[in-house]
Amino acid sequence: MPRHPGLVLVAHRYDAESTAHVQALVSGAGIPARMAAIATGAYDAVGAALAALKAERCDAVTIVPLMTSSESRLVRDVAALAPPLATTHGLAVALASALDDAPEAIEVLSDRAAALADHAARQAVMLVGHGPSHDQDMPAWEDLGVTLANGVRERGRFFAARAGVVRDDAPTPVRAAAVRAVRERIARYAVDTGEPVIVVPWLVGAGRLARVQLLKDLAELDIRYEGKPMLPHAALGDWLARELAVASMVLTRAKPGTVVRLRER
């Protein structure tokens, strides 16, 4: 029996500009699709999106978290909600991972850095992300950051690259320590290279952190910073299309009320 696919693209709550970019990905998916904008503890939009797709006669839905890391608590919470929601709505669900270290993520971050570079071979790049609140989640974020930074350095032929997080939702002393570590790395790179350090938001969309807070966090450092997040970029559409292609294969035999994970990071 042919399946009727649908898409739920899960994203943070962003400013109006970035929300429009997310919606553009939804509109260009080529199948019935909904955006679910979520925040910590506020996940009703996911269930509402599934219900809307069910009403459109979709029976095989892919949930894609448009987020930087599968280690995000939001991504984990959505993964935990997927099985009961699949059962409630009688849908076969494919659950994708976040961007993580996908080649498209490296492409976007490298392009953002290249746009700010004068002499890439002599300049260092610092990717700065949101990061986790809890200490136990830091090793996974650090490992992912190493992979992404190495990819950016190699693709853009930069002098060096590193990733760091400011742990924006952590208690104030924890956040302050994280910001201090990022600042120290940037300061060292500036001394080592004698050039402004290129700072790229390791963030999918823009909000207070990219537009305002990072500028305050990194004040008085020798940096090049535009505040432009990963959206918009054609590579993110390519990534989404690839996830949907994989999902279409695994959902062929999936039963209603079940969830299939597309991959583990």
Q: What is the pLDDT of residue 263?
A: 76
The pTM score is 0.96
CA 156, CA 8: separation in Å to the nearest integer? Answer: 33
Domain at 103-225: CATH code? 3.40.50.1400
CA 211, CA 228: separation in Å to the nearest integer? Answer: 8
Q: What are phi and psi of 185, to 5 degrees?
A: -65, -45
Q: What is the pLDDT of residue 264?
A: 58
With tokens 């999106």, the residue in question is 49
With tokens 């199948």, the residue in question is 31
Pair 17, 206: CB distance under 8 Å: yes
- Give the CA angle between residues 109, 115, 117 to the nearest 5°: 100
Q: What is the residue-level pLDDT of the chain in tens, covering all 265 positions?
A: 458 999 999 999 999 999 999 999 999 999 999 999 999 889 999 999 999 999 999 999 999 999 999 999 999 999 999 999 999 999 999 999 999 999 999 999 999 999 999 999 999 999 999 999 999 999 999 999 999 999 999 999 999 999 999 999 999 999 999 999 999 999 999 999 999 999 999 999 999 999 999 999 999 999 999 999 999 999 999 999 999 999 999 999 999 999 999 975 4
Pair 99, 68: CB distance under 8 Å: yes
Identical fold between 5-99+232-261 and 103-225: yes
Domain boundaries, the chain: 5-99+232-261, 103-225
Query: What class, spelled out in words, does domain 5-99+232-261 have in CATH?
Result: alpha beta
Q: What is the pLDDT of residue 1?
A: 47
- Give the CA angle between residues 219, 222, 226 to the nearest 5°: 70
CA 63, CA 65: separation in Å to the nearest integer? Answer: 7
